[in-house]
Amino acid sequence: MKAVEVNHLFKSYSGKTAVCDLSFSIMPGEILGLIGSSGVGKSTTIKTILDFIRLDSGDVTIFGDILKDSSKNQLGYLPAGYFAGRFSVNTTFEP
């Protein structure tokens, strides 16, 4: 079963398309990273998957179900810039 499945996601803001017909899936244990220039829809994609913003069309399922409060607890989200200025290259993390 797919952990996350995105099918034909569309999102626009004031008539400007942010995400156009995006589809992909993530299997359990996989990690997703979106890379691209500023303004290409990376954050919008993640925010629609997490239901922070509403998509215009398409659908997102988490472990086969439409996103709901209980399935949100199975996802992790680390926003861009979260660690900016908090740690140096030499920072060591202990388990």
Residue 88 lies in a domain: no
Residue 17 lies in a domain: yes
Task: Give the domain extent around 65.
Answer: 4-72
Please report, rounded to a whole number, the percentage of residues in the chain having pLDDT higher than 70: 85
Residue 85 lies in a domain: no
Q: Please state, in angstroms and rounded to a whole number, the distance separating the CA atoms of residues 24 and 91.
A: 35
Q: What is the pTM of this model?
A: 0.73
Residue 65 lies in a domain: yes
- The pLDDT assigned to 80 comes to 67
Strand 57-62 vs strand 65-66: parallel, antiparallel, or unpaired?
Answer: antiparallel
Residue 18's contacts (CB-CB under 8 Å, 6 or more residues apart) are: 11, 12, 41, 44
Q: How confident is the model at residue 49 (pLDDT cuts 50, 70, 90)?
A: confident
Residue 78 lies in a domain: no
Residue 60 lies in a domain: yes
Q: How confident is the model at residue 53 (pLDDT cuts 50, 70, 90)?
A: very high
Number of domains in the chain: 1
Residue 91 lies in a domain: no
